[in-house]
Amino acid sequence: MLAIRLAKIFCTAAIGFDVALVAFGNLSDYWTNFGFVTEVLDMDDVPASSRIHWRAITAPLLDHASYILIIGTEIAVAALCLGGAVAMARQVWAKAPLFQSAKNKAVAGLTLGFLLYEGGFVAVGGEWFGMWQARDFDAVQSASARS
C-alpha cells in the first residue's frame, strides 16, 4: 500500500513539475510558441484544398487570448498537481480516508491537464483547426511532444 501511495505522489509531482517547466518556457520565451499557436489558429499550414478554412481565427487579439488561456491553464495544472503531491506526502502515513481527501488537488490538476491536452490540443487544435493536416509537420504530434 505504501508503494502505491508513493507512486501516486511521485507521478503527480513529476507531471506537475513538467507542466510547470512548460508554463515557465511559454512565459519566458513567449513569442516562440505564440507563433505556433498563431499558425494553428490561422490554419496557414492546412492545404488550400481543405474545406475547413472557414474555422480559422485571424484576429491577433484572439491569438494572444488563446495563448494566455493555455499558459494560465498550465500554471493551474502545475500548481494543483504540485500542491496535491505535497498534500498526499503529508498524509502518506495516515489512514485511508485522510490520504483519500489529500488527493483532491492532485485529481483536479490531473483532470485539468487531461482536459487541456485532450480537449484543447487534440480535439480543438487537432480536429477543429486541422493541425493534423499541416503540410510541413504534424502539429498535433508536436503539441503533444512539446507540452
Neighbours of 102 (CB within 10 A): 22
Domain boundaries, the chain: 2-146
Question: What are the tens digits of pLDDT across the range 24-83?
Answer: 999 999 999 999 999 999 998 899 899 999 999 999 999 999 999 999 999 999 999 999
The model's pTM is: 0.89
Cell of 132: 493534423
Cell output for 119: 480537449
